[in-house]
Amino acid sequence: MKEERRAAARWRLIRLCAAALLGTVVSAHAEDAVLVSSTVPGYVPGTIITEGQRLTLPEGADAVVLFRSGALVRLKGPLDSTLTIDGVSGQGGGGAASNSVGALVTALRGGGTDASVIGASRSIPMARSAMQGQRLVIDPQRSAIYCLGPRDSVWLRRSAGLPGETLRLRRGGSVREVAWRGAEIEWPSDVEIEDGDRFETLAGSGHALATIIFRRLGEASSETAWVAESLLRGCQEQASPALHEIARTLPSSH
């Protein structure tokens, strides 16, 4: 029995090490980005720019992109390329250093594009508050994706017109009923929320109301990194106001 426990522990350690290694490789390979602002019609702030997706800026056009790391980069046209090392230089990169945002900017400049790192130091009150822990209030009648930080608490708000005195939370084949005790109730402590969990909210009668999806976030290295991660995880409604705040604080283009 002891040997079986030791073998199981070794296997868990191997899986953790493999997961950590894979995570390092993925993050070193490329960074998805979010469009903060652009002078090109049709390029909407908040648009996700994925690996392999080409960004086209005509002569004189301007765009600012936010990377997952929190770095902000200003690009000036002409540009027609992906935001990866391979897409810019035509050379395969190896390791995190060659695939960093700084290396990307260097490669872009080498290809004749005006590119510069603006920096990640920004005062974004909404993001700062979220990083410190927030009271996340959910309307059970509205479908949405919510990002949860390590110190966040989740509450359910009884919106106008919600029938009955109870609410049901369904995840897969499991249903948990909660009773309203005022306008807001805390998420039941016996219903754990994991990253990617999808809950259906049902009225007490069993009528389907909405679908709620949760994304778990880790500790963000900066306020801009929190905004980028939230948007890249699909929490558009939650993080878009902070993205607008970043755009408002950008230095003017010269």
Per-residue pLDDT tens digits for 98-131: 347 888 898 888 888 899 998 655 678 778 878 8
pLDDT band of residue 88 (cuts 50, 70, 90) is: very low
In order of 101, 160, 180, 205, the CA distances from 177 in angstroms are: 47, 19, 10, 11
Q: How high is the mean pLDDT of the chain? A: 81
Say which residue, 37 or 95, is predicted with more confidence: 37
- Write down the pLDDT at residue 31: 67
In this structure, the strands spanning 72-76 and 198-203 are unpaired
Instruction: Supply the pLDDT for residue 2.
Output: 42
pLDDT at position 29: 38
Q: What is the pTM of this model?
A: 0.77
Name residue 122's amino acid. R
User: How open is the CA angle 105-108-110, to the nearest 5 degrees?
Assistant: 110
3-state DSSP assignment of residue 204: coil
Q: Give the pLDDT confidence of 174-208 residue by residue, as tens digits.
A: 999 999 988 999 999 999 999 999 999 999 888 89
89 pLDDT exceeds 80?
no
For residue 91, pLDDT beyond 70: no
Burial per residue of 108-142, b for 16 or more beta-carbon CB atoms within 10 angstroms, e otherwise: beeeebebeebebebebebbeebbeebebebbbbe
Q: What is the pLDDT of residue 4?
A: 41
pLDDT of residue 216: 95
Q: In the 8-state DSSP scheme, what is residue 42?
A: T
Confidence band for 85, pLDDT divided at 50, 70 and 90: low
Q: What are 42's strand-pairing partners?
A: none
**Position 53 confidence tier, pLDDT thresholds 50, 70, 90:** confident
Task: Give 164's pLDDT tier (boundaries 50, 70, 90).
Answer: confident
| Confidence category of residue 95, pLDDT binned at 50, 70, 90 | very low
